[in-house]
Amino acid sequence: MTTPLLDVSDLRVAYPGRGFRARPVEILHGVSLTAHQGETLGIVGESGSGKTTIGRAVLGLVKPSGGRVLFAGEDITHVAGKERRTLARDIQVVFQDPYTSLNPSLTVGDILSEPLVVQGAKSRDARARVRELLDQVGLPKDASERLPNEFSGGQRQRVAIARALAPEPKLIVCDEPVSALDLSTQARVLDLFIDIQRRTGVAYLFVSHDLGVVRHVSHRVSVVYQGDIVETGPAGLVTSTPEHPYTQRLLLAAPVTDPVEQARRRTERRRLAEAGAGTDTAQDARAGAA
């Protein structure tokens, strides 16, 4: 196998505890994962599981308390300042909310050209790149002259994707990029991610709480539960025949149209939750002791 584009090893992240002299609370307990060029690694888990913290650590938005993050063979665990800004050319992000992630006072053309100009591109070249980016994400040419509030949520997320693509990165961290969109728009945006990857070879670290979403876009999936990765494997296997009880519960939580099947899923999920109560209690005790 080739050297992974992203290699996270025994990653630990702790946040300050609440209250005077409170000990730090460890959110990630030693997470390890890899992603290769042109691959999508789905990171799935419920709210509070620690999945978003993994992406933030890769982006340098939180400081790891232990472990190592390698990108293209280079240790970027504690890279900051000018080096981090340089690294942003290769590692970009698409955030969850397309309504707050774009500057409302700038036109789409300015939003997309700004990072290019900062990196030294000439104005003419930046404008040409903006036209190319708008075409890539399926937006009309006149979109560059309009403000973000003139677009729908799905269109705004396309602008955010175009902004992430502007410096031609090798990796994009996608932090719940479709959770704020309606189902039909979700499907179109997910297909756009897949199409862009086929054409550019970019890798995705795709963070989501929705097993169905990561099934659609991912090559492999890692399941995060209370700060630990409990299952990793090919997307088709993990999202259809999971081995870990927590992943099974995530799968059973997905709604179906058949009321009889929905009732069966609810019963089975309750059984798995009760069976895992002892494990949950043990992990809660560990978190409290941290």
Q: Can you give the pLDDT at residue 282? A: 44
- Given 3.40.50.300, 3.30.300.90, 3.50.50.60, 3.10.20.340, which CATH number is that of 6-90+171-238? 3.40.50.300
Q: Can you give the pLDDT at residue 208? A: 95
Whole-number Å distance between alpha carbons of 82 and 29? 29
Whole-number Å distance between alpha carbons of 244 and 279? 12
Whole-number Å distance between alpha carbons of 173 and 160? 12
Render the burial of 157-177: b for 16+ CB within 10 Å, e for the rest. bbbbbbbbbbbebbbbbbbbb
Whole-number Å distance between alpha carbons of 65 and 242? 31
Residue 179 half-sphere exposure toward CB, CA atoms < 13 A: 18
Between 163 and 101, the more confident residue is 163
> Could you tell me what percent of the chain has a pLDDT over 70?
89
The identity of residue 67, as a single letter, is: G
Question: What confidence category does residue 290 fall into, taking pLDDT thresholds of 50, 70 and 90?
Answer: very low
Q: Dump pLDDT digits (tens) for 60-96.
A: 999 999 999 999 999 999 998 889 888 989 999 999 8
Q: Dump pLDDT digits (tens) for 115-151.
A: 888 888 888 888 899 999 999 999 998 999 999 999 9
Whole-number Å distance between alpha carbons of 108 and 134? 9
| Stretch (H or E) spanning 152 | none
Q: Dump pLDDT digits (tens) for 221-256.
A: 999 999 999 999 999 999 989 999 899 888 877 666
Q: Can you give the pLDDT at residue 281? A: 47
Q: Can you give the pLDDT at residue 265? A: 65
Q: Can you give the pLDDT at residue 123? A: 84
3-state secondary structure 236-258: HHHCCCCCCHHHHHHHHHCCCCC
Whole-number Å distance between alpha carbons of 152 and 6? 33
Where exactly are the structural domains of the chain? 6-90+171-238, 97-166
Q: Can you give the pLDDT at residue 269? A: 66
CA angle 271, 272, 276 (to 5 degrees): 120
Q: Can you give the pLDDT at residue 186? A: 92
pLDDT at residue 32 is higher than 50? yes
pLDDT at residue 46 is higher than 50? yes
Question: What confidence category does residue 285 fall into, taking pLDDT thresholds of 50, 70 and 90?
Answer: very low
Q: Can you give the pLDDT at residue 20? A: 79
Q: Find, among 156, 198, 201, the residue nearest to 177 by Cα.
A: 156
- What residues form DSSP beta bridges with 172? 92, 204
Pick from 101-105, 187-191, 281-285 the range whose average pLDDT is largest: 187-191
CB 82 within 8 A of CB 32: no
Confidence (pTM): 0.87
Question: What confidence category does residue 288 fall into, taking pLDDT thresholds of 50, 70 and 90?
Answer: very low
Q: Can you give the pLDDT at residue 55? A: 96
> Could you tell me what percent of the chain has a pLDDT over 90?
65
Dihedral of the alpha carbons of 131, 194, 213, 31, in degrees to the nearest 10: -100
Average pLDDT over all residues of the chain: 88
pLDDT at residue 217 is higher than 90? yes
pLDDT at residue 57 is higher than 80? yes
